[in-house]
Structure 1
């Protein structure tokens, strides 16, 4: 089966699962190298009641509806394509790196109540969007809820509606309410299924015992009996779950909004210091000091009733946010706040939108308002902490993350955020301790490994850095960042072949990885591989023709091979792009000096010094040029200034060089 091509495009890499009517494959798109997807092959059920023409139409309609959901919500698996071959139907879906909820819920160990509440809040918020679009999931179960590795968010996958059209299979009976079995699914059929998940989590049922719930029913009412005297569970939480799984859908919660409201009332009623804190989720992109947050608010409406108009405005704001239209999201949520001044969720969401717009001041203000409304919410402190981080207020960021940790000591993301701020303040030991704690709480937290590895490298703990990057690669072989950072570390160890290999792996995983091309080009240049280096620099400039650093790297490369005109041309282009870049003037001065144009070199060094009066190397180079021009007095002044600046910065070797040039001039 491996290697087979589907739809003349998707090559099967491996078979993920084989069931009676559904087979699942991991595939790569031959037209988009390095792009992996999941393909579900749906076998047409025997004696299917629908004729093939009608079936095709229904399949296409449902697939279109599900695809639209994935485009508009970040926590719904994207449906990439659908097609038919040999009267069998296929779904091409986004491949989500992460772990199914079965690895958290069905392990035979009960979850804490606050963990279950956090799970309910997050999945219900996704369902709020799904139901508002007129879609019922129809197959809510732990296997169809994936905790995404990159940001720890829960992602809803495998909608049952499109699969049932072809297979007529209704899903796992353990999670299916009676009305759905009878072909009359309701929106609250999804609520029932999620309630079963919550029960399994609270009891700590292993996977092979989940079916026992359906046999534990009251003979007269048909309601599931899941609590016993020895089980300690908050009575109000138990009542909410009981209402989620009522046998008669007419007596069940009628909407997701109702469940969210009661859960919020539950959190507000808890005694001070014991309020439930649901988990804040963050989208953190890697980089030395780059962190973008995207929060899923963990509590719902503060007011007893959320009027229809306000709810509609709120949902429109969320939809705009998920579509990336953050400005419109702010407008909608501002209207919600005017109507509901104590709506903490609206402040939270508007703060997220402001954050994505880069308005960190307003994002911070909204988080502060959320804290006023709920001082025990750890997530609001963390949210405000990241806004402070982006504003360069690292002490404030540390204070907020520390408060978040006090309220929720098991929040790995709070430790990670504090680690980033400690890194900026060069409190290296504290930063490493924070990243290590984040990893201890979340062993597959690749971003924490990445930042700890980078910090290890800065502290010249190269083997420890490589160990962290290798740990990431072992967990996720497709993480280009880990290969790139490992390449940087190998390069510092003078392991140039290993570094080239790592940069190449990063590029193979991400063909737009500019930094990997630049550093690989630098190593090729150092090794004398002129053609390979030039190809890498040219590739970067094809990706981004206005990238100053690419012209600088290529210019330095050309200069090292004696192509002075080519180097000067590249440095001149870099100056056009960044007229105040002192280093580029210094480099072009070197090129002019090497080709014998001392006057032009002197002018460039002078320009570099005018831009940066503390540029020791430019003074040194101008001193060399002035000495060659016979301007001894001016050359001595430059070498003295260079020596002074080198000494101030602790650059002993450069200081000795400047003193040596001074002595040579004085002895002439």
Structure 2
């Protein structure tokens, strides 16, 4: 029994900074169940403890101001036997981590809904100079039966302990989810946004965040782990990438900014618009650098369907390629090759041989069997008409099907 009032029922969890208990408030006729968080740390002198108590009270006052339906209510706080305690509202439901284990990965629509649900909550706390510091799937609950998302387990214990003990660079948060600046002891509103971004890609892939980051290239490679039937649109992927940017200045600075970007991404998706930068392809074609232009075409196609650059493109991927992007690439090749190269040139040749892929391949000097290698001497102006763009991007062994899909899309 704590404070001769709170009857502890069982421990819900523990970590390096504290323990969480399920309890009953015996002072209330309703025997209200609640959550009690105990801050656990050892101090060797009274000065350090007094400093911790002072900071704890400041943090508790800040939390008490966060009256929001998607944040557990702070019901009380106290000190007992040199330990600090927070009493909070009990939220019934599942965490998103538990939901992931039970239901599997989420899709773009569900992640978009998650962001729209939580970003206003983050803007609310950031406007009040509060930073959560530990956003992750285990700290986001879906309240039952309503289904709304609730942000739980603010990093008060971590912040109080680290600050009171003056541990320079103490990392506050879960290592897989925290922003680079937070590992150095500096938490900002953008740090919470970064953690929210990592939460999104974990829920999209089901893969631990550490495995979604390539330390060699120093970048997130979450797209490599997206299931083929669960592809993310280019515009939505760009929102996630900016949330995850290692450089603080290049990341979103506020939750409202993310919401605006999300709305624009939704409009682009609704209008089937994907913004690509064709300037490099145009410049390469202008200089008649066919090999480089061929590779840039592959890169643009990958970007348009939200696949990592250099990924092979299969027929199902090709069907998702927006027609206007295919047509734009084709028009650039036609213009700068004086009508010699382009997808539409290949279509004309294909139709002239009545769709016989063997005759088509012979006409443009492609191998009729699967091969994505190109003889070096064909990277010249006198390459056969229709030779470019090549099929270096084509995945699978039935390469004639790619030509059939392209012809149908044109």
For residue 270 of structure 1, report the CA deviation from its aligned partner.
Answer: 2.1
Which residue does the alignment assign to 1:52? Answer: 49
Which residue does the alignment assign to 2:322? Answer: none
Kindly provide the CA deviation profile for residues 60-84 of structure 1, in whole angstroms up to 9, marking residues without a partner as x: 0011101110x2x111111111111
Kindly provide the CA deviation profile for residues 191-247 of structure 1, in whole angstroms up to 9, marking residues without a partner as x: 000000111111132xxx333234x2353xx33222229753211111110100111
For residue 107 of structure 1, report the CA deviation from its aligned partner.
Answer: 5.6
Q: Which structure's residues are more often strand, by fraction?
A: 2
Bigger Cα Rg: 1
Residues 241 and 86 of structure 1, relative CA distance in 2, 3 Å threshold: same
Which residue does the alignment assign to 2:34? Answer: 37
Q: How does 1:17-416 map to 2 (within 5 A)?
A: 17-33=13-29, 34-45=31-42, 51-69=48-66, 71=67, 73-105=68-100, 109-166=104-161, 170-205=172-207, 209-214=208-213, 216-219=214-217, 222-228=218-224, 231=228, 232-271=231-270
- Residue 270 of structure 1 aligns to a residue in which SS? helix
Kindly provide the CA deviation profile for residues 2-49 of structure 1, in whole angstroms up to 9, marking residues without a partner as x: xxx012210111222233442211111111132010001111245699
- Residue 250 of structure 1 aligns to a residue in which SS? helix
How far apart in 2 are the matches of 1:67 and 1:129? 13
Q: TM-score, normalised by structure 1?
A: 0.37
For residue 129 of structure 1, report the CA deviation from its aligned partner.
Answer: 0.8
What residue ranges of structure 1 are gaps of 5+ in the alignment? Answer: 276-668
The alignment covers a number of residue pairs equal to: 262
Q: How does 1:611-650 map to 2 (within 5 A)?
A: none
Residues 23 and 175 of structure 1, relative CA distance in 2, 3 Å threshold: same
Q: How does 1:383-462 map to 2 (within 5 A)?
A: none
Q: Which structure's residues are more often helix, by fraction?
A: 1
Tell me if structure 1 keeps the 8 A contact 2:73–2:89. Answer: yes
How far apart in 2 are the matches of 1:225 and 1:185? 25
Residues 48 and 203 of structure 1, relative CA distance in 2, 3 Å threshold: farther
Q: TM-score, normalised by structure 2?
A: 0.60
Which residue does the alignment assign to 1:15? Answer: 11
Higher RCO (C-alpha 8 Å, min separation 6) = 2
For residue 163 of structure 1, report the CA deviation from its aligned partner.
Answer: 3.6
Kindly provide the CA deviation profile for residues 92-124 of structure 1, in whole angstroms up to 9, marking residues without a partner as x: 110011111112235683211100100011111
- Residue 211 of structure 1 aligns to a residue in which SS? helix
What residue ranges of structure 2 are gaps of 5+ in the alignment? Answer: 163-169, 274-410
Aligned residues: CA RMSD: 2.4
How far apart in 1 are the matches of 2:81 and 2:182? 30
